[in-house]
Structure 1
């Protein structure tokens, strides 16, 4: 994700991809940040023991020096940027959609449901719902319709000659 491409040569076959991942060293763009390159190399380490040592000490890596790990653990950290909510398009107006939806009974007991009070899984983007406009019907010309139009044009010209 950091480079926008796969770190190994994949080719067109699954067998080629598997061999590359197992045997080859990862390839990185020249302008990639050296600290980021070191993290990716550590995470792609072939030896499970070496990879585990790297993951255990990943907080000490220079790439993560600006991260306050206690804020992350206590859910106080804010993301560095937030994407704007995107509009969700539907085929039907919301009153039609809501008439199709049956209420879902909670699968757990009512007293256990209280543990999840205030919790929501829906982002703000789901609240912005607009219906999809119906596309205008376009007449698609087929070979038959082109031939018919040409025949009628020729027939009109023949009639005018008389």
Structure 2
């Protein structure tokens, strides 16, 4: 469902052996957004604007497909070598939701208030998570109390985040929209969010096409040859390609697949 979006991670295929399940996915050399936040936050205004614009493109695509992610956080936003984002980990995602009763799902601190108090919720919940991520990029810390789970729940539900005195006014307003406590007000305010003054200067055609250049450079992180890593070498050599065991073949029935994109890259002989 997300295969046509450049802002989501792609699975090219899956397969299984007797003891292992394998996922073949894009290699995103830049790693997690979390690492970038730890290393560089608070980001420059241009950097925040660019990353938020790409995240918005990704969310809009997901929601247009009826997909609610439910676990948007810096660890689930990956970066390629140039600094473009890819939303990852759809393990908690649901489809065809419209303010219906759903289970509490997500990561504490990034879940919207309506999710934590078990109200019916919809796509506005992803925007609250987006707001927490954007705040971390802008300020370099979590916007709410994070002493323990009860304090986080209490703070996310009732506390207003504090903003640095000299924060850009448009950025502050943008964050306040995303972190609005009331889901219905939040849903109304995020309509047409790409036209918010914070995004002044963004060429949305280039952004959607993935041709906009990130206003920052990534630290080089070359792919390491597994032969240079003794631990990986031992692990890989211990894997014996085998058919699933009788005990597991039914548990993971239907797990293995090959995407059309992967088929296009393989020769006919390899496909067969």
Question: Which interval holds the TM-score relative to the shorter structure?
Answer: 0.5 to 0.7
Q: 1:36 to 1:102 in 2, by over 3 A?
A: farther
Tell me which residue corresponds to 1:113. 262
CA shift, 1:47, in A, is 1.0
1:6 paired to 2:142 = yes
For 1:32, what is the secondary structure of its paired residue? Answer: coil
Tell me which residue corresponds to 1:79. 214
Tell me which residue corresponds to 2:116. none
Distance 1:69 1:99 in 2: 47
Q: 1:102 to 1:25 in 2, by over 3 A?
A: same
Q: 1:109 to 1:49 in 2, by over 3 A?
A: closer
Q: 1:18 to 1:110 in 2, by over 3 A?
A: closer
Q: 1:97 to 1:12 in 2, by over 3 A?
A: closer
Once the two structures are superposed, residues 39-75 of structure 1 have per-residue CA deviations (whole angstroms, 9 ceiling, x without a partner) of 1111000111111122222111111011111112222
CA shift, 1:35, in A, is 1.1
Q: 1:99 to 1:48 in 2, by over 3 A?
A: same
| TM-score normalised over the length of structure 2 | 0.35
Structure 2: state its 5+ residue gaps: 1-135, 242-255, 267-272
Structure 1: state its 5+ residue gaps: 119-162
Distance 2:154 2:231 in 1: 51
Q: 1:109 to 1:62 in 2, by over 3 A?
A: closer
* Equivalent residues, number: 116
Tell me which residue corresponds to 1:92. 230
Q: 1:102 to 1:86 in 2, by over 3 A?
A: farther
Q: 1:32 to 1:109 in 2, by over 3 A?
A: closer
Distance 1:110 1:42 in 2: 38
Superposition RMSD in Å? 3.4
CA shift, 1:78, in A, is 2.3
**Mapping of 1:22-61 within 5 angstroms?**
22-61=157-196
Distance 1:19 1:73 in 2: 37
CA shift, 1:12, in A, is 2.2
For 1:59, what is the secondary structure of its paired residue? Answer: helix
